[in-house]
Structure 1
Amino acid sequence: MTTTTSSPTIILIAGHWLGAWAWDEVLEHLTTDRSDVIAMTLPGLDGDDPSRAAKTLDDQAAAVLDVFVRFGVSEDRPATIVAHSGANAPVSLVLDRRPELVHRVVWVDSGPVAPGSVFAPDLPEGVDELPLPSLDALAQQASLEGLSAKVLERFRDRAVPEPGPVLRQPVELTNDARRRVRTTLVCCSIPSAQVLELARAGHAVFAEVANIEHLDVIDLPTGHWPMWSRPRDLARAIQSAASRTS
């Protein structure tokens, strides 16, 4: 039987090109104590940081662990991490390094990466950063379903180029305890049934899902950015997942 726990700290981390601002609409719909919810901008995605293009996945994982310290996350009071899209690489590192500090991880149209994964192995060393592609090119990579012209314009205006080192760095994972962290998949652009089928088949992108010991899934049909297309429903899914203890 599912039970609940009181107000775990919830850390919201958006994917490539995005900062804390990407969660604004979701935050409006969360009914938990707002002091326990942190939307963070990963190192490398702060447009005002002059050294941001040199940031690495290690820098990003360290920043999440710093948030743990600042907000009193501990084994007795573990956090729920909500990771969208490309935030899966630094969050996978966090799960590997300090799994005992994570109550649950919620992957939003995303999932854990496998050891040795590299997001863009062919990105030349001379490329310092990767800007948001044109919307036409982006639509070839991920679903834009549910996003209005106004939302897409804001995305374009506020997007920060992704640091090259983040995209080229292999994700080194050695601690199998990461697979025992309770996990929720919020499946948006690909239905959960298809995700699980691909995981069982050993598909490179989804294979690590098959190794998760405590998994539940939520289908939230929409595009790849549900924080904008279905923010109220995503907030409900996050709260439901954060409150679970089994």
Structure 2
Amino acid sequence: MTQRTQQPESPTVILVPGHWLGAWAWDEVLEQLVGAGLRAVPLTLPGLDADDPHRSSRTLEDQAAAIQAALDAAGGTAVLVAHSGANAPVSLVTDRNPEQIRRIVWVDSGPAAPGGIPTTQPGDTCEDVPLPSFDELGAQASLAGLTPEQLERFRTLAVPQPGPVAGAILHLSNPARRQVPTTLVCCSLCSAQVTELSEAGHPMFAEVAQLAEVDQVDLPTGHWPMWSRPADLARIIHDAAAR
């Protein structure tokens, strides 16, 4: 990306990683965004800090509070970038304070519907949901574009998803959340597939059909474009933040 001077009116970009990931997951994208003059803040959500002695007991409310604190610190309005399973806490924050969010960029993800899709079943008491084997993970989400070195780093730095987060039921009630301008970055599924699934009412994409303003951008790669195509993802985020 071209080096640019940071503009005072530029919004803060808050980068929220998905399951098993911390702020480290955004390293390459962050370098690109900062180099382009944007204020960008990568988050490690509560429960995903390996050094937190209470990590396994952190909740979805804790994660939403961390995102809300980042929004408050940004002042004015900010752009939220949410990857994968970050859609639950980001959707919760959007439901509560949509006026603080200038735009949401969903990275191979989308807004969660009320109730959500818990990772664990009701009644499960497991403390953690660890990163599965890559054979199992690859059957759930595309690993396309990732090198052996990137997969090794993923395995080394991944932190188990806390049980209280994985099994949380999402309570959403504010229709104004659907008025926040939205960009969908379509990676493992192309935009045409996302549209088809949303119109069919698929639970993972049903909310997309309810959005007042949504742009879809195709970025063909696997489920972790911050590693497989970081420069291209950063460019999309930059363009979305500038709107």
For residues 195-231 of structure 1, what are the alpha-carbon distances to aligned partners after superposition, in whole Å with 9 as ceiling and x for unaligned? Answer: 0111011111111100000100100000000000000
Quote the Cα distance in structure 2 between the aligned partners of 1:183 and 1:5: 23
For residues 53-101 of structure 1, what are the alpha-carbon distances to aligned partners after superposition, in whole Å with 9 as ceiling and x for unaligned? Answer: 1111111001111112223x2xxx2000000000000000010010000
Where does residue 137 of structure 1 map in the other structure?
136
Quote the Cα distance in structure 1 between the aligned partners of 2:48 and 2:114: 24
1:99 alignment partner AA: P
> Is 1:68 the counterpart of 2:71 in the alignment?
yes
1:62 alignment partner AA: A
Where does residue 95 of structure 1 map in the other structure?
94
Where 1:18 maps in the other structure, the secondary structure is coil
Shift of 1:28: 1.8
The runs of at least 4 consecutive aligned structure 1 residues that moved more than 6 Å come to none
Where does residue 58 of structure 1 map in the other structure?
61
Shift of 1:119: 2.0
Query: Is there any run of 5+ residues in structure 1 with no aligned partner, and where?
Result: none
Where does residue 234 of structure 1 map in the other structure?
233
Quote the Cα distance in structure 1 between the aligned partners of 2:130 and 2:29: 25
Quote the Cα distance in structure 2 between the aligned partners of 1:117 and 1:237: 27
Cα distance change on mapping 1:85 and 1:135 into 2, 3 Å: same
Match of 2:36 among 21, 32, 35: 32
2:213 alignment partner AA: H
1:227 alignment partner AA: M
Q: TM-score, normalised by structure 1?
A: 0.93
Quote the Cα distance in structure 2 between the aligned partners of 1:157 and 1:101: 35
Shift of 1:190: 0.1
Using CA pairs under 8 Å that are at least 6 residues apart, name the structure with larger relative contact order, 1 or 2.
1
Quote the Cα distance in structure 2 between the aligned partners of 1:10 and 1:120: 27
Where does residue 206 of structure 1 map in the other structure?
205
Shift of 1:29: 1.6
Shift of 1:123: 6.1
Q: TM-score, normalised by structure 2?
A: 0.94
Quote the Cα distance in structure 1 between the aligned partners of 2:118 and 2:185: 21
> Does the Cα contact within 8 Å between 1:185 and 1:216 map onto a contact in 2?
yes
For residues 144-203 of structure 1, what are the alpha-carbon distances to aligned partners after superposition, in whole Å with 9 as ceiling and x for unaligned? Answer: 000000000000000000000101111100100000000000000000011011101111
> Does the Cα contact within 8 Å between 1:118 and 1:167 map onto a contact in 2?
no
1:172 alignment partner AA: H
Shift of 1:117: 1.4
Cα distance change on mapping 1:118 and 1:203 into 2, 3 Å: closer
1:1-246 pair list within 5 angstroms? 6-30=9-33, 31-34=35-38, 36-71=39-74, 73=75, 77-122=76-121, 124-244=123-243
